[in-house]
Chains A and B, each alone.
Chain A
């Protein structure tokens, strides 16, 4: 079964750091672009960032709201995706989902597989 499972969410103080993980199963992670998308409580979906696949040198892109603070990485040998979040702000409070970009590679495809999400709360 194709599946994504996030972990690592927690309560953290403003200015703190947290690392989220996303375990992929049922497909080869290195073939796919992978993204993080977040959803603040009661709000809509917000794209966080992307890591492209091995064929595109694992290049990354970030939303302006997190650029310079968040870093996406991956360990294809462990079929895992990561989101390192530093200098956290209260407005980063959200459920964080990892999502697979369909189409086998390319920026213009939709998210065909989503994880259930992990909750990050930034509060003092």
Chain B
């Protein structure tokens, strides 16, 4: 199985900050990477697919980049609603794997 490693595990930031979360794959997954946001007690929400394609309705402050084995999710200016846990997911094959998650908390 392809292993996905996210960093950091926890990120403390303030409203207005620019933050970046990194996801590394154990082997090349081309651009078959998605990012999700999850809030406590809720289902994950798809933010970005195919590494950099922003889903409809997702604010433009979210962006994704990368290909192969290295990927990033960037939030350009944190808003109060953005404090949540973020997961990357590789979709390169049906044997899907997720990163362990990054908890974004208020500093």
Complex-state Cα separation, A107 to B92, whole angstroms: 7
For B8-38 the 0/1 string (1 means CB < 8 A from A) is 0000000000000000000000001010101
Are A61 and B94 in touch, CB under 8 angstroms?
yes
How many chain-A residues does the 8 Å CB contact rule pick out? 21
For B35-46 the 0/1 string (1 means CB < 8 A from A) is 010100011111
Interface residues in A84-124 (C-beta closer than 8 Å to B): 97, 102, 107-112, 114-117
Interface centre among B42, B50, B95 (most CB of A within 10 A): B95
In the assembled complex, which residues on chain A have CB atoms less than 8 Å from the CB atom of B49?
Answer: 102, 109-110, 112
Are B92 and A47 in touch, CB under 8 angstroms?
no
* A45 and B87 in contact, given A108-B32, A108-B92 (Cβ under 8 angstroms): yes
Q: Say whether B60 faces chain A, with CB atoms less than 8 Å apart.
A: no
Q: Say whether A32 faces chain B, with CB atoms less than 8 Å apart.
A: no
Are B95 and A61 in touch, CB under 8 angstroms?
yes
* A110 and B91 in contact, given A44-B101, A115-B43, A116-B43 (Cβ under 8 angstroms): yes
How many chain-B residues does the 8 Å CB contact rule pick out? 26
In the assembled complex, which residues on chain A have CB atoms less than 8 Å from the CB atom of B50?
Answer: 110
Complex-state Cα separation, A112 to B46, whole angstroms: 6
Min CB–CB distance B96 → chain A (angstroms)? 4
Q: Say whether B105 faces chain A, with CB atoms less than 8 Å apart.
A: no
In the assembled complex, which residues on chain B have CB atoms less than 8 Å from the CB atom of A111?
Answer: 34, 36, 44, 46, 89
Are A107 and B87 in touch, CB under 8 angstroms?
no
In the assembled complex, which residues on chain B have CB atoms less than 8 Å from the CB atom of A45?
Answer: 36, 38, 44, 87, 89, 98, 101
In the assembled complex, which residues on chain B have CB atoms less than 8 Å from the CB atom of A44?
Answer: 87, 98-101
* A46 and B46 in contact, given A110-B34, A111-B34 (Cβ under 8 angstroms): no
Q: List B residues at the A interface (Cβ < 8 Å).
A: 1, 32, 34, 36, 38, 42-46, 49-50, 55, 87, 89, 91-101
Q: Can you pick out 16 interface pairs between chain A and chain B where the beta carbons lie within 8 Å of each other?
A: A44-B87, A44-B98, A45-B89, A47-B96, A47-B97, A47-B98, A63-B95, A102-B46, A102-B49, A108-B91, A108-B93, A109-B49, A110-B49, A111-B34, A111-B89, A112-B49
